[in-house]
Structure 1
């Protein structure tokens, strides 16, 4: 009883005289679990640790005239536990702790700042420029955007090793507040999940609700996978779409990224009998928001580094502009192998880019900028030395620069028919567009030469045979006439 009374008297004198009256024994350690950034209404525990044989520990909040708690340390760790079961905005602030033992008062701990989030309900938005997937050593800018006028915007990382605060700037043209956080020379330490918050200068420990999570990835130099679509590159709204990322390397995971967005989708792999690893990403029913450019990456389970990016894959959504261009062919839609053909796309409505699509083609559609010609917008898609492989049904579409992946309705289909046998010229044309056929034209030339030689030999053989047969017949005739001369 005497000890408790003495401590309370001493504590009263300590708060009256301020922290400088505290002793200079071993400095304490103060920390918060699960962390010092705490969501409103959640629990937090503050630990005070360090002084041997401490009899009582005191938790003090700056700018407060009273102690926030006293605890007897738990032995043998010499740790005092201060629990706050439901954090509110009054708990936000800076804390110190002290402990008393027979040797006197300890030196005060370092400052622990408790931040309470979720006080303001307007959450900001966090995005990565140019992309949330960056190569090692590259630079990235994280942009925090707010629709309310917070004085500062702050960027945090899940492990709280990265914390940066910036003054928000109001951008009149978009009526938003924003701040840019630049990270140079990306390393493994920068990989992780980021969020940003807003707060006001007069209450720096009271933050808004956080932005959505933004995960940052580093892509490496391992072999890039391939990204495919089996439904075609131009889709009508309401259709289903599955994008397939595959590789001949046995990646354990695949990542699908839509350029310009921050949400990335990660899937485990499927192993095929042929040794390929792949993953199918099935998107929701196709809509205008599905249109865009996609890439995918592969990774091993034990690695935090992703492969090089696949080649980009464009997904275009038809019927988003309420008109359709027309498509015609010059000189006509039926030509001979080796001829030249021009497909003409035209529109009386403004079109920035024309897209030419061949039904069933695996390649991405051709695109050309439109030109205004007297009465309409048009583009000419030229095909020289056509082959039978180019036969098929064609359609054209238009788009605007403001929405590159949203197309007009389709033109009426036009059928291109390339007639005639496959000639040497056809094989040379295929050779120019398909490197794996590079030896076929030489083989065909040799076959033609051999065929011509065989034909010549056959003709010579026939002539020799006819000569021999004629001589034989003459000899027979002569032998039958001999007896007549003997009469």
Structure 2
């Protein structure tokens, strides 16, 4: 045998001891990736775990005939660590591993598919028809994009990550999409989804993830309540805290805006107060809108959303003026009209008493100024009494309000039972001071009679009598003047007397 042939034979025997040509007697190892098999570009680790007898671990990538990497087991231990400093599109693919011991080769591990995300723009994930479902219902999730993806992948987050892949459907407009039927859904788990797009020739290179979509399947948990502190009407630049309070079993609170399927923020209850606060440090037009909250309780059961809270921002325009017709002091059972007007062109006007909105009125439909809206309160009761303000807003931004008008205090008097004690009050008493404050609305505070203010009288009959007498006197004077002109001699005689 020639030296060359002897050397090749020895080399072949040596390689054969290290090449897993067929399954060996040892059990197959386990393979997994950290932090996961679907990750954005960055560092990641592949682990291969066998038996304590394993001396060498080999990692293979599909499409490569030679081992991709070889590692020794960590001491002491039965697993090897394969590190990827920076995961890129080139590293995406399908992997499996073996280990070698003096007893021979192990079987091959299961296959591990490594996917890298972030290579393309994110698609859009929506529900048909709505993200709010009843327990046991079905829903269709639509994943679509303007890019011509060949496939879409839907993933469900949770303890056991699940995924589904569908070929895309091309629309005449160039939009590509896939429809994923999901259901029946139950409130026993969180149903939170994302979707990705990819191309057929690069199935392990995905787009950026869509925005998360959470299906709302309310369980047997009472809905929480939501309120704003110090109030839902916030001056531009001021801070406000949205509080959400639910049951004692609540483990987390979620804040939503404008019926978005994904929560804006999540908070853990403070101590044992079963409530959580969401702080808005500086109120802007971006923060205005409708808010709701929900809570998770034991077992990740989601509650229904709270009643919506309208958060508005004020101070984005000049203040309108507010006046009352016929007067801000009105008898019970009568009517009063509150007029909100401005020299600027506003859309809807809002009337508020204290912290609550009493109504909404619209100014002129054209864009010219001045604009005005009238709010009629009828019939008046003691419940209407209070301090009113009005705001202007724009029809395209109804949650952005102007500066508030000056306050107008509406006084409702009891016309059936006059309060005799009011006539004896001195000008420094609280009741008279309250009425006197209306002087800035066109009522003089000087010589103000409480009876006149609180019990308006009807002077129509007296005024008609006065007008009749005055008319009669004018007629008599006219007759005398006519006779004097037609009888000049009588006039001269009268003058000579």
Q: Normalised by the size of structure 1, how large is the TM-score?
A: 0.64
Paired with 1:270 and 1:58, the residues of 2 have a C-alpha distance of 50
1:234 paired to 2:229: no
**2:13 maps to which residue?**
6
**1:41 maps to which residue?**
42
Compute the displacement of 1:67 (Å).
2.2
Paired with 1:36 and 1:255, the residues of 2 have a C-alpha distance of 28
Q: 1:396 aligns with which of 369, 390, 393?
A: 390
SS, match of residue 67 in structure 1: coil
**2:265 maps to which residue?**
265
Say whether the 8 Å CA contact 2:20–2:105 is kept in structure 1: no
**2:429 maps to which residue?**
none
Paired with 2:205 and 2:408, the residues of 1 have a C-alpha distance of 65
Which runs of structure 2 are paired with 1:456-471 in the superposition (5 Å)?
none
SS, match of residue 15 in structure 2: helix
Compute the displacement of 1:315 (Å).
0.9
Residues paired across the two proteins, number? 406
**1:221 maps to which residue?**
220
Say whether the 8 Å CA contact 2:153–2:165 is kept in structure 1: yes
**1:297 maps to which residue?**
294
Paired with 1:172 and 1:402, the residues of 2 have a C-alpha distance of 33
Say whether the 8 Å CA contact 1:30–1:112 is kept in structure 2: no
Compute the displacement of 1:177 (Å).
7.6
Compute the displacement of 1:412 (Å).
5.3
Compute the displacement of 1:44 (Å).
1.4
Summarize deviations over 1:98-145 as a string: whole Å, max 9, x none.
567899876654432111234x37556767788877664455666667
Say whether the 8 Å CA contact 1:30–1:109 is kept in structure 2: yes
Paired with 1:76 and 1:374, the residues of 2 have a C-alpha distance of 81
Consecutive unaligned residues in structure 1, runs of 5 or more:
15-21, 425-487
Compute the displacement of 1:92 (Å).
1.1
Paired with 2:337 and 2:171, the residues of 1 have a C-alpha distance of 48
Compute the displacement of 1:285 (Å).
0.8
Q: 1:366 aligns with which of 359, 367, 372?
A: 359
**2:333 maps to which residue?**
338
1:281 paired to 2:292: no
**1:437 maps to which residue?**
none
Q: Normalised by the size of structure 2, how large is the TM-score?
A: 0.63
Paired with 2:322 and 2:181, the residues of 1 have a C-alpha distance of 48
Which runs of structure 2 are paired with 1:94-243 in the superposition (5 Å)?
94-98=94-98, 108-118=108-118, 120=119, 136-137=135-136, 152-156=151-155, 157=157, 159=159, 161-165=161-165, 183-188=182-187, 190-191=189-190, 194-210=193-209, 218-243=217-242
Paired with 1:10 and 1:269, the residues of 2 have a C-alpha distance of 61
SS, match of residue 41 in structure 1: coil
1:313 paired to 2:312: no
Summarize deviations over 1:19-42 as a string: whole Å, max 9, x none.
xxx459788354313232244331
Compute the displacement of 1:397 (Å).
3.4
1:230 to 1:55, Cα distance in 2 relative to 1, 3 A: closer
Paired with 1:182 and 1:351, the residues of 2 have a C-alpha distance of 47
Paired with 1:311 and 1:98, the residues of 2 have a C-alpha distance of 58
Paired with 1:250 and 1:158, the residues of 2 have a C-alpha distance of 21
| Root mean square deviation of aligned Cα | 4.9
**2:489 maps to which residue?**
none
Paired with 2:360 and 2:378, the residues of 1 have a C-alpha distance of 17
1:189 to 1:113, Cα distance in 2 relative to 1, 3 A: farther
Say whether the 8 Å CA contact 1:386–1:418 is kept in structure 2: yes
1:73 to 1:371, Cα distance in 2 relative to 1, 3 A: same
Compute the displacement of 1:324 (Å).
6.1
Consecutive unaligned residues in structure 2, runs of 5 or more:
1-6, 419-497
1:24 to 1:399, Cα distance in 2 relative to 1, 3 A: farther
Paired with 2:50 and 2:61, the residues of 1 have a C-alpha distance of 17
